[in-house]
Amino acid sequence: MNAMGRLIKAEMKLMVRDPLVLTFVFAFPIVTMLIIGGAFGTTPTPAFENTNPSHWYVASYLTVTIAAGGLVMLPVHLASYRERGVLRRFTAAGFPRWSFAIAQLIVGLVTVTVACALLLAVAAPVYGIPALHGAWRVVAALVLGAVAFVSIGVLLGTLLPSARSAQAVGLLIFFPSFLLGAGGPPPHVMGHMVKTIAGPLPLTQLTDAVRDPWLGIGQATGSLLVVAALAVAATAVAARRAAL
Amino acid sequence: MVKSNVVTVRGLRKAYGTRVVVDDLDLDVHAGEILGLTGANGAGKTTTVECIQGLRRPDSGTLSVLGFDPVTQAARMRPLLGSQLQDSALPDRLRVTEAVELFARQHARDGGELLDRFGLAARRKSAFSSLSGGERQRLFLVLALLNQPRLVILDELTQGLDPAARRNVWDAIRQLHADGTTVLLVTHEMVEAEALCDRIVVLRDGRVLDSGTPAELVARHANVAMVHFTWPDPPSALLAEMRVLDGVRDVKRSAGRITVEGSRATIAHVGAVLVRYGPVPADLDVQVPSLDDAMLTLLNGTPAKAGTVPVTDEQLIGGRR
């Protein structure tokens, strides 16, 4: 097996053993989706663009797993590696320059994919999975969003000096994004100021790009383009920063 | 005979902000030798080896490691190096065997055999975070040796090891040496340097203070042997004879206790005189100069200036004198 393969294999095992991954990326979105998905019933209302509120949150919470992976899991993981000299050891051992960045991207994407699958598996018997109205747009948004947030996570991990600071900053970005852009109240019940703040957030854009075509609310082409641009920019910067 | 160099460093300079850590350093590591790099804390040892490994970019100077430039050809150079770094770790939850699998390239040695050899066989399934300091050091050594490197760089190798584990590691280094592997050893431990190194380079303030074999450094900087014994009422002829012995510098007498200072040869001459004059004093004690003494003298003394240290062809390495 080549260096990249060995690195991916080892990092996969470590991800599964990381309590932060298990709680934040796997458990947290599922538990909160189950709670809030049942809070507003299943009757379509204008606040939820005349869709089933439970389905609204099932479609929204896939992006919560993506944000949790990108904003909480990866920054802590990478900052801890840098702080403890793990990256220096990889560098000294001759791992190829781009191997670590690519391994993190792949491991991040796999983790997010598994977390999304788990979330849907739990949602299916409880609230049902809403029908996909614009499948390719949803898939494109999920893939681009995962790449964007994983890259942002890698970038934060290379910028923040320690695991503790990465955790603090990651949570500080994650929770407002989560409440305003995915897992909180729908935009229609937000006040003007809050809606203005929530609108441009990356997680709001991603959630719109996934939820709107999924539930047949709209195309969300603008949001999809924003997420695509974010994915390209974040990946380019993160790959440079995470090169060994 | 001209020895081929595995590492050639010329005019290396590295500063962190305004603090110059390595200053115009020259260093040669010959093929097949164990070279010790030593000096006080902050002398620039670790920065020097980090530049050699391509982990830091020098401000100026040229480096050649196994024929490669560590700045521009690190990717080709690093697979030929085995590194044990100071202040580095592995992921906490990575198990010992997984670490070996992760770092083993295609033609790596048998990791299981190395784990056995360094007493880690029983810890194969253990996570890195559960290893003791000594076990971690031994694992780093296993990883450094795993890919049959041509140059092994060991920074504070035996830090945290108990005496038995230290001996075990020293044996492994000697075996590497016997197999022809070149070793660059950064150490504070003079006993270790004396036991392992063919040559030693002493740094202070980022410059080479002196270099040579352990014996040469001792001869230059700690060539004072002392013989102590008690003889309450010694014959005057005994003291007179000792004062003129070969190599004797001083004979002191205080409350029946006699101390003779001189070169190493003094020890033999004093012994011979004592045997001739009667029963050898029961408390006869000899202090032989060690590399530790030489380092203390060297590091606490005035900095070496150009031409003040005698240089032989063998010692034409290290910083510009």
> Mind listing the pLDDT tens digit for each residue in A184-205?
888 888 888 998 999 999 999 9
Query: What one-letter code names the amino acid at A229?
Result: A
Answer yes or no: do A85 and B89 touch at CB < 8 A.
Answer: yes
**Average pLDDT, stretch A119-124?**
93
Contact B304, B210 (CB under 8 A): yes
A interface mutation test: which of B46, B52, B90 has the most A CBs within 10 A? B90
Contact of B82 with B179, CB cutoff 8 Å: no
Name the nearest CA neighbour of A65 among A23, A35, A95, A107.
A23
Nearest CA in chain A to B79: A94
Residue B144 or B321, more confident: B144
Among A93-97, B70-74, B113-117, the range scoring the smallest mean pLDDT is A93-97
Q: How far is B141 from chain A (nearest CA, A)?
A: 12
Q: How many Å lie between the alpha carbon of A47 and the closest alpha carbon of chain B?
A: 46
* Residue of A86, A90, A98, A107 best to disrupt the B interface, most CBs of B under 10 A: A86
Q: What is the mean pLDDT of chain B?
A: 86
Q: Give the whole-angstrom CA distance, residue B261 versus residue B276.
A: 20
Amino acid at B36: G
Rounded CA separation A14/B95 (Å): 10
> From the CB of residue B50, how many other CB atoms can be counted at a distance below 10 Å?
23
Whether the complex's predicted ipTM is more than 0.95 is answered with no
Residue of B146, B298, B272, B147 lying closest to B214 (CA atoms): B298
Mean pLDDT of A114-141: 92
B49 phi and psi angles, rounded to 5 deg: -70, -30
Whether residue A17 lies within 8 A of chain B, CB to CB, comes out as yes
Q: Return residue ranges of chain B for CATH 3.30.70.100.
A: 224-287
The pLDDT > 70 percentage for chain A reads 100
| CATH architecture under which domain B224-287 falls | 2-Layer Sandwich (3.30)
Q: Helix B214-221 crosses helix B291-300 at what angle (to 10 degrees)?
A: 60
Residues of B in contact with A81 (CB under 8 A): 91
Q: Length of chain A, please?
A: 244
Indicate yes or no: CB of A84 within 8 angstroms of CB of B78.
no
State both tokens at A6: 């060995």
Contact of A84 with chain B, judged by CB distance below 8 Å, is answered with yes
Give the β-pairing of B151-155 and B182-186.
parallel
Best residue of B78, B84, B106, B142 to probe chain A, by most A CBs closer than 10 Å: B78
Band of pLDDT at residue B2, cut at 50, 70 and 90: low
If you measure CA to CA, which chain B residue comes closest to A82?
B88
In this structure, what token pair is assigned to residue A196?
A: 């203005």
List of chain B residues whose C-beta atoms are within 8 Å of the C-beta of residue A94: 75, 78-79, 81, 105
Q: What is the pTM of this model?
A: 0.78
Check: CB of residue B65 under 8 Å from CB of residue B6: yes
Q: Domain segments of chain A: what residues? A: 3-242
Portion 250-279 of B in contact with A at CB < 8 A: none
For the segment B98-132, what is each residue's pLDDT rounded down to a tens digit?
999 999 988 888 889 999 988 899 999 999 999 98
Which of B85, B104, B143 is the closest to A88 by Cβ? B85
* Domain B5-220+294-315 architecture: 3-Layer(aba) Sandwich (3.40)
Instruction: For residue A80, give how far its alpha carbon lies from the nearest alpha carbon of chain B (Å).
Output: 9
CATH 3.40.50.300 boundaries in chain B? 5-220+294-315
